Amino acid sequence: MYRHSRILIVLPFVLISLFSGAQPLNKKETFTRQDTLRGSNGPGRDWWNVIEYDIQITPDYSSKKITGSVQILFTVPQDCTDKIMQLDLQEPMRIDSMKQGNEPLTEYRREGNVYFIDFGKRKFQKHQPAEQNYTFFSISVYFSGKPREAVNPPWEGGWIWTKDNRGRPWMTVACQGLGASVWYPCKDYQGDEPDKGASLTVTVPDNLTAIGNGRCINKKAGKNGTTSWTWQVKNPINSYNIVPYIGKYVHFADRYTGETGEELSLDYWVLDVDSARAAKQFGRDVKRMLKAFEYWFGPYPFYEDGFKLVQSSHLGMEHQSAVAYGNHFMDGYLGMDLSGSGWGKKWDYIIIHESGHEWFANNITSNDIADMWVHEGFTMYSEVLFTEFYYGKAAGDAYLQGIRNNIANDRPLIGPYGVNKEGSGDMYNKGASLLHTIRQVIHDDSLFRKIMRGLNQEFRHKTVDSKEIETYMSRVSGKDLSKIFDQYLRTTQIPELEYRLNGQELNYRWTNVVKGFNMPLQLMGKPGSWLYPETGWKKITLPPGTGIEQYNPNFYITLKKGQ
């Protein structure tokens, strides 16, 4: 998802100043026990693994309440006994009852946004036969309440109750960061995606349509003029990505033949009044997005579940296989070019950015949102690669250098671990700038592309820590990138090349850097000219026609002329 708190436009020159903030999270210096329960893989979570969610809900538009149930299939080690399970459900939502099989679960207590279920010494009731030293179990949880309503979705999220421009009910959810437990009971931890996916059944008035992730596997008429729509996603999915969209939708479809020759279904659900505009905009950008991203990142990760765009009342979100789209069928970001380069108005920002998350956020997911730069930095960089793919390398460079102007350098990109706290909103623009800088250091675009594709193969449908991504990129590139990652991810300092120039004799060093920082820097005068600065002074005679200020501008650094 792309986030901003304000956009300033100054004419006749367009200057877009973007300050990004965590979607539902307030800046705070201290953390509570609730933060730790929410953000860590603690003793109520670490012993059980989610296999599948089966969610059923009935929303009531007039009262803004929902009732529902969720069956959670999970595994535990065969020797696991006497455990306390943590189940997350945010106030004011409540659990009404629970059972395992036909037996009620009554030993549980609430602590804020968490329920603790005490299974005691009794044995779990097996759901399926044991498999590889693990046993399958399931519990059914019945819940109800009035979920937190989104104040400014998707940035301040929750359940969204609104109307379309004809006054008809239009409902959905946006809860990244805030968490899926804002509306249904779950293990609200990014590091545990349901291995076999999820199903979502939504019961709505029969004059409305309910859309979910993956494919529609059932549509059933119910009582009192209702219809139940059941959607299923078969691949692992993050809990915040599981969402319903409810409104006066119409459907149109297409197909895309990917690089492997496999056909991908393309489904579009939009308000009936917007179908013509949607057909034009989606028809232009979706297939070319897929072509560019499959080239750079490898095959679309969820062929089995298909690709969907679903019109939403908010700007957009990366809901896996059901991407939320609310850019009003405009090019750029709500008609603006965030880079100021002109290239950002050649394509629909939300289609490109939110679809890029299918590879980085949905295919590769960070265990902790402290490492969310892995989602947003790579996806912001996907915009650069898309621009380059269709308009050339100079266009991609110009776009990157433009978004670099939006970096605030207020906090490190990586936040504190274990407390559900993101790092700086710079994870977008600075994260992309870090990757472009690393690409210059690697200095081999074929190898860089191999790394991008390799990440999506190595960590396919997995959750990761930032260090795993960093280590992989260093290993495959054959270069130790660790100090570069430390510099740009874990500090707010921008590397500064201090220099003294006497004729063609150059003295130079890195300052404002972490200990041991030794990133090489390419000069643009004579082809093949590089500097190899360290934190101590070094000296070189520059080749004729090469000046220190003619360094490759795709490196995110600053210069300082010394005395």
User: pLDDT tens digits, the chain, 563 residues: what are they?
Assistant: 755 433 333 332 233 333 333 334 445 579 999 999 999 999 999 999 999 999 999 999 999 999 999 999 999 886 666 689 999 999 999 999 999 988 999 999 999 999 999 987 555 545 455 456 678 889 999 999 999 999 999 999 999 999 999 999 999 999 999 999 999 999 999 999 999 999 999 999 999 999 999 999 999 999 899 999 999 999 999 999 999 999 999 999 999 999 999 999 999 999 999 999 999 999 999 999 999 999 999 999 999 999 999 999 999 999 999 999 999 999 999 999 999 999 999 999 999 999 999 999 999 999 999 999 999 999 999 999 999 999 999 999 999 999 999 999 999 999 999 999 999 999 999 999 999 999 999 999 999 999 999 999 999 999 999 999 999 999 999 999 999 999 999 999 999 999 999 888 999 999 999 999 999 999 986 666 899 999 999 999 988 777 788 899 999 999 999 87
Q: Name which of 182, 150, 318, 163 is nearest 246 in CA terms.
A: 163
Alpha-carbon span 128 to 73, nearest angstrom: 10
High-pLDDT (> 90) share of the chain, %: 85
DSSP H helical ranges for 251-391:
275-297, 349-356, 373-391
Alpha-carbon span 181 to 280, nearest angstrom: 37
Alpha-carbon span 7 to 406, nearest angstrom: 10
Alpha-carbon span 284 to 286, nearest angstrom: 6
pLDDT of residue 98: 97
- Chain-centroid distance of CA 409 in Å reads 21
What b/e sequence results for 445-459 when a residue is b if at least 16 CB atoms lie within 10 Å of its CB, and e otherwise? eeebbebbbbbbeeb
Give per-residue pLDDT as tens, 308-337: 999 999 999 999 999 999 999 999 999 999
Alpha-carbon span 358 to 361, nearest angstrom: 6
pLDDT of residue 77: 80
Q: What is the pTM of this model?
A: 0.93
- Chain-centroid distance of CA 62 in Å reads 32
Give per-residue pLDDT as tens, 513-536: 999 999 999 998 666 689 999 999
| DSSP state letters, 62-110 | TTTEEEEEEEEEEEEETT--S-EEEEE--TT-EEEEEEETTEE---EEE
Give the three-class secondary structure for 134.
strand
